[in-house]
Every structure is written in C-alpha cells, then in structure tokens.
Amino acid sequence: MNYVTLIFGMAAVTFAIRAAVFVLGERLPFPPIVRTALSFVPVTVLTAIIVPMTVSPHGKGAELTWRNPQLIAALAAIVVCALTRRALLTIAVSLGVFFVWQLVVLR
C-alpha cells in the first residue's frame, strides 16, 4: 500500500508543477538566469538518456569498440549533424548506419 501512496503522491506533485506553469503562464516571470538555465534542460536530458544506451548498450560496462553498432551510429550522427545541421537527415543516416553495421559488418 505504501508504493501506491508513493506513486499517487509523485503523480500529484508532477501534475501540480506542470499545471502551475500552464495556468500561470506569462504571469509568472522567470529571472533571466533561470530562463538561461531552463534552456539547457532538453539537451541535458537527451544526453543523459542517449549516452548510457550508446556507450553501454548491454548494461555491463562501456563497450568502446567497433563491434558496438550504437556507438558507430552515434558517431555517424555527430558527423552528419555537424556538417549539415539537418535533424531528419541525421536521424536517417544514423539509423541506416546502425542497421547496415548490425546486419552486414557484424555478421
């Protein structure tokens, strides 16, 4: 029963925080330093999700070898993004590299 209470409590706090931002909207001004800090949140969260999955896809330590298709695809994505700055092209190329690497190179 404690887990259920904990889950509902976390849901209520999350809902209250998100609802407050939507309800108050522009009436709640943020200082410039907070706005600057909040602009880094999406990049930080995305990095925190992607890097562990790329470097350690099986969860057993870092796999920094050519046999890690996630790492090779991520490196290809970095190169394509740096050269073109086109998100859809970056996604398409990195997925292509991932599948080709996994199906052709590692067979």
- Each residue's pLDDT tens digit, 29-45: 888 998 899 899 999 99
Model pLDDT, residue 50: 93
30 — phi, psi (to 5°)? -100, 140
Model pLDDT, residue 81: 96
Task: Return the structure tokens found at 7.
Answer: 């889950």
Tens digit of each residue's pLDDT (9 = 90 or more) over 43-75: 999 999 999 999 999 888 999 999 999 999 999
Model pLDDT, residue 38: 87
Model pLDDT, residue 3: 93
Model pLDDT, residue 6: 95
98, 69 contact by CB (below 8 A): yes
Tens digit of each residue's pLDDT (9 = 90 or more) over 8-35: 999 999 999 888 878 887 787 888 998 8
pLDDT value at 102 more than 80: yes
Side chain identity at residue 43, one-letter code: V
